[in-house]
Amino acid sequence: MEKKVFENGLRLIYLPIDKVRSASVAVWVATGSRHETLEQRGISHFIEHMLFKGTVNRSARDISEQMDMLGGGLNAYTAKEYTRYYAQTLGKNAVSALDILCDMLTNPLLDADELERERGVILDEMAMYEDSGEDVAHEALCSAVWPNSPLGQPICGVADTVSAFTPDDLRGYMRERYTPDKMIVVVAGDYDRSGVDELVKKTLGSLSRGKSTALDDSPVFTPSLALKNKKFEQTSLALAMPGLPSGDPRRYSMMLLNFIIGGGASSRLFQRLREELGLAYSVYSSHSANLGAGLFTVFASFSADKQALVLDEINRILEETARGVTNEEFERARAQVKASSIMGMETVAAQATFVGRSELFEGRLINFDQIIEKLDALTRDDVDSLAENILGNPARALSVAGKVKKRSYYMPFISHTKNK
């Protein structure tokens, strides 16, 4: 594994993998919904869509057909703190696939007619999320927890802003945020090293460095209650508390704690609410880490008349776990997390993603063996300490979507809430 830094700040990471004949190529751009103003909400996601709609060298159809001729797949997604463009293909075609990505990033047409067509697609995508109880609950939760931070903004944006974007708006944002100092190129698997060098040097490596734009955002967790009355067949909730920011050394303990609480079929939440009581078809926990902020969240979907039982059981399980986990739970969680981590890294694409994320969020290349060493070094006390810290925190936020009750009904289930 090797990292090369160009004079304009572009980072190029090589990850050769023996005995494979495929390659994964990707360009990470350190911009997402967290970097948008209120007027720009959704612009990162809109740009991601539009880069597939043609360049000065290739039409949208050319991009699709050429990628098919390479025998691979091309895709992208937008997150809160980055946008990732990537392709999987045969090793002999890695340079050609990367050439398509670089062309999309450096020579996009951003045609006005294409923009209008894609605007409708994105608005339909947003409407689709509005039909999902879990998505509605999650978006409302983020907005309530981080009301004064762009971290709480929806990635897709809102209808008012998405309906108003022009090609010039997209070009202006790209001039500011799509600069080489905010880009990471990852090439993994089997590839032509000299071909990659030459291509990147004349494309992304020749761009002008952008202005320094340090993230001026310190999100503070806000205890809150968000209710969305929707005509869903089931009611969905998201109960959150402050988690760990990206790069926190306790993240390995969090992997185990999350698994024990709601990360698998043997977890406390699943066994109690789904298997023993039959209160919820879907119930699980997750942890999301961002720069300077993290969120530990429990999700559940259930019949509206079971809300009190579901909330009671979730709170009871969290309170019990705050007092510690058992040796059996600890060992089972470590075995499962290690196994899933190892198996999840057996593809070229997974290894490329791991390396890209490490560089983006920590500015360094992490050897995967180090992750296993960290997991092996954990003790039950490490997990117990984190459980007390996270679950013992009285700050809670609750979001409910579906057949909701009056606000006063939910107040006993959370602490220190503020009206939103």
Do both 133 and 248 map to the same domain? no
Residues 123 and 248 in one domain: no
Confidence of residue 218 (pLDDT cuts 50, 70, 90): confident
pLDDT for residue 413 is more than 90: no
- Are 156 and 139 within 8 A, CB to CB? no
Q: Is the pLDDT of residue 371 over 80?
A: yes
Residues 384, 258 share a domain? yes
3-class DSSP state of 22: strand
**pLDDT bucket at 216, cuts 50 / 70 / 90:** low
Range of the domain at 63: 2-206
Number of domains observed in the structure of the chain: 2
Domain boundary among 180, 206, 232: 206
Catalytic: which of 2, 7, 36, 48?
48
pLDDT at 420: 40
Say whether both 192 and 229 belong to one domain.
no
Residue 215 lies in a domain: no
Is residue 419 over pLDDT 50? no
**Predicted pLDDT at 110:** 98
How far apart CA 394 and CA 416 sit, in angstroms, is: 7
Q: Which residues neighbour 93 within 8 Å (Cβ) at sequence distance 6 or greater?
A: 23, 70, 71, 72
* Mean pLDDT, residues 15-32: 97
Task: With a cut of 90, say whether residue 336 has pLDDT above it.
Answer: yes
* Least confident span in 182-191, 266-275, 279-288, 411-420: 411-420
Any domain includes 109 = yes
Task: Give the whole-angstrom CA distance, residue 387 versus residue 120.
Answer: 45
- Domain membership of residue 216 (yes or no) is no
pLDDT of residue 213: 73
**CATH number, residue 158:** 3.30.830.10
If you ran DSSP here, which 8-state letter would residue 366 be given? P
346 vs 48: which has the higher pLDDT: 48
Name residue 293's beta-bridge partners. Answer: 290
Structure tokens at 256: 């185990």
Residue 118 known to be catalytic: no
Task: Report the distance separating Cα 240 and Cα 223, nearest Å.
Answer: 9
- If one compares 138 and 418, the residue with the highest pLDDT of the two is 138
Domain end position, chosen among 206, 235, 253: 206
Question: Looking at the structure, do residues 229 and 178 belong to the same domain, yes or no?
Answer: no
What is residue 418's predicted lDDT score, i.e. its pLDDT?
A: 43
Do residues 86 and 121 touch, judged by C-beta distance below 8 A?
no
Q: Report the SS3 class of residue 80.
A: coil
The DSSP H or E segment spanning 5 is strand 2-5
Give the pLDDT band (50/70/90) at residue 417.
very low
Assess if residue 361 is contained within a domain: yes
- The Cα-based distances of 102 to 68, 97, 332, 396 in angstroms read 17, 9, 44, 44
Task: For residue 244, give every residue at least 6 positions away whose Cβ sits within 8 Å of its Cβ, in sequence order, or none.
Answer: 250, 251, 254, 287, 289, 294, 390
Beta-bridged to residue 240, according to DSSP, are: 297, 397
Say whether both 394 and 278 belong to one domain.
yes
238 and 170 fall within a common domain: no
Residue 346 CB partners (closer than 8 Å, separation 6+): none
Claim to verify: residue 178 and residue 243 sit in the same structural domain: no
- Taking only the tens place, the pLDDT of each residue in 71-124 is 999 999 999 999 999 999 999 999 999 999 999 999 999 999 999 999 999 999
Element (H, E) at 398: strand 397-402
Element (H or E) spanning 253, and its range? helix 251-262
Q: Which residues of 198-221 are buried (b: 16+ CB within 10 A; e: fewer)?
A: ebbeebbbebeebeeeeeebebeb
Q: Which of 206, 234, 259 is the last residue of a domain?
A: 206
Does 177 share its domain with 258?
Answer: no
Q: Are residues 174 and 264 in the same domain?
A: no
State residue 55's pLDDT score: 98
Q: If you average pLDDT over every residue of the chain, what do you get?
A: 95
- 317 shares its domain with 282: yes
Question: Are residue 192 and residue 85 in the same domain, yes or no?
Answer: yes
70: confidence class by pLDDT, cuts 50, 70, 90: very high
